[in-house]
Amino acid sequence: MTHHLHIALWGVLPYLVLAVLAGGTAWRYRYDRFGFTTRSSQLHESRLLRIGGPLFHYALFLVAGGHVMGLLVPEWLTERLSVHEPLYHAVALTVGGTAGIAAVAGLAVLLYRRLRVPAVRRGTSRSDRLVHPLLALVLLAGLTATFSSSVSAHHPYDYRLGVSVWFRSLFTLDPDTAAMAHAPLVYRVHALPAMALFAAWPFSRLVHALTAPLGYLTRPYLVYRSRARTTPYRHPAAPLERRPPR
């Protein structure tokens, strides 16, 4: 029974989440491009946001970078580069731990602000109510996982031989569910809400992350557009217009 559960959770669910993430994003981009926004509340409250916003987001960049390192780079590669496990672990713990604490602190400021500033609270949507607790849960579990491996001193769990193997196996379409099933509970508690978060991604304000304006770096300052090219986007459900008779 548990075997089937493991297969469902770590062998099937990730693909479902990926499908929802990709399909949902495509669907939203097609049907609700107007909804792609940060829904910023800075107009109502600026002081706390100026602390919490950058703290949370910049820390998240570091955290995301750390996940790329930890999940995608196999251990044999770092060994080959003479970065041995204890050193790697120490670096991951200090950098990842700091970033994690910063992200949690930033989120705490933002959540406090969202709950206590009436105007911001009023602007909170239903999807926010789902996404914010999920984010907090994922961050806290992740932070716990980072520190738990250093606290249990003797035989720290090497996630690069467990969780990472499972993660990479997902992309070879041969999920190593056992690797994840045998991981400590905290890793599984981290991964499950994370998958929920990715599934909720296209349907919440998180989509703004997918529209990061990197093109701004190479674009000319001034943008000219012709009337004929004003709106390249037409809602698929909008009726086709008749051309006015000439």
Partner 1 sequence: MPDRTRRTRRDQRDQRDRQNQQEQNRQDQQDQQGGQKRNARRSRRSRRPAAPRVMAQVAMVMNLDKCIGCHTCSVTCKQTWTNRAGTEYAWFNNVETRPGQGYPRRYEDQDTWRGGWQLKHGRLVPRGGGRARRLARLFANPELPTLDDYYQPWTYDYDNLLSAPLGEDVPTAPPRSLVDGRPTAVTGGPNWDDDLGGGPDALAGDPVLSRIGTQVRLSYEQTFMFHLPRICEHCLNPSCVAVCPSGALYKRVEDGIVLVDQDRCRGWRMCVSGCPYKKVYFNHRTGKAEKCTLCYPRIEAGEPTVCSETCVGRLRYLGVLLYDPDKVGEAASVPDERDLYAAQLDCFLDPHDPAVARAAEESGIPHDWVTAARDSPVRKLICDYRVALPLHPEYRTMPMVWYVPPLSPVVDALTADGFDGEEPAALFGAIDTLRIPLEYLAELFTAGDTGPVEAALCRLAAMRAHMRRVNLREPRDPALARGVGMDEDGIEAMYRLLALAKYEERYVVPTGYSHSGPAGAAAEAGCSLEADGGPGMYPQGPPDADAFHAPLGAPLGGPPPGAVPPQPAPATDPTGRSLRGRVNLLDWNGEGRPDGLFPRRRESGGKDA
Query: Which among 192, 187, 199, 196 is positioned nearest to 18, based on CA atoms?
Result: 199
What whole-number distance in Å separates Cα of residue 194 and Cα of residue 200?
Answer: 10
Q: Does 42 bind partner 1 (CB under 8 A)?
A: yes
Which residue bears the tokens 């992200």? 103
Query: Which among 1, 12, 68, 65 is positioned nearest to 180, based on CA atoms?
Result: 12
**Least distance from C-beta 158 to partner 1, angstroms?**
34
Nearer to partner 1, 20 or 120 (CB): 120
Query: Which among 39, 21, 14, 38 is positioned nearest to 203, based on CA atoms?
Result: 21
Q: Does 41 bind partner 1 (CB under 8 A)?
A: yes
Residue from 2, 86, 154, 221 touching partner 1 (CB under 8 A): that is 221
**Least distance from C-beta 108 to partner 1, angstroms?**
16
Nearer to partner 1, 3 or 234 (CB): 234
**Least distance from C-beta 59 to partner 1, angstroms?**
11
Contacts 24+ apart (CB under 8 A), 224-232: none
Known binder of ligand: residue 132? Answer: no
Known binder of ligand: residue 57? Answer: yes
136 neighbors 50 (Cβ within 8 angstroms): no
Nearer to partner 1, 61 or 171 (CB): 61
**Least distance from C-beta 120 to partner 1, angstroms?**
9
Of residues 223-242, those binding partner 1 (CB under 8 A): 223-231, 233-234, 238-239, 241-242
Q: Does 26 bind partner 1 (CB under 8 A)?
A: no
Q: Does 187 bind partner 1 (CB under 8 A)?
A: no
162 neighbors 180 (Cβ within 8 angstroms): yes
What whole-number distance in Å separates Cα of residue 140 and Cα of residue 215?
Answer: 33
Q: Does 45 bind partner 1 (CB under 8 A)?
A: yes
- Which residue type, as a one-letter code, is found at position 129? R
Q: Does 65 bind partner 1 (CB under 8 A)?
A: no
Known binder of ligand: residue 208? Answer: yes
Nearer to partner 1, 47 or 155 (CB): 47
**Least distance from C-beta 123 to partner 1, angstroms?**
6
- Which residue type, as a one-letter code, is found at position 110? L
Query: Which among 40, 23, 206, 13 is positioned nearest to 127, based on CA atoms?
Result: 206
Count the neighbouring beta carbons within 10 Å of the beta carbon of residue 205: 17
42 neighbors 49 (Cβ within 8 angstroms): yes
Known binder of ligand: residue 155? Answer: no
Residues of the binding site for heme b: 57, 67, 190, 208
Residues of the binding site: 57, 67, 190, 208
Site residues (vs partner 1, CB under 8 A):
33-34, 36-46, 49-50, 53-54, 56-58, 118-119, 121-123, 208, 211, 213, 215-217, 219-231, 233-234, 238-239, 241-246
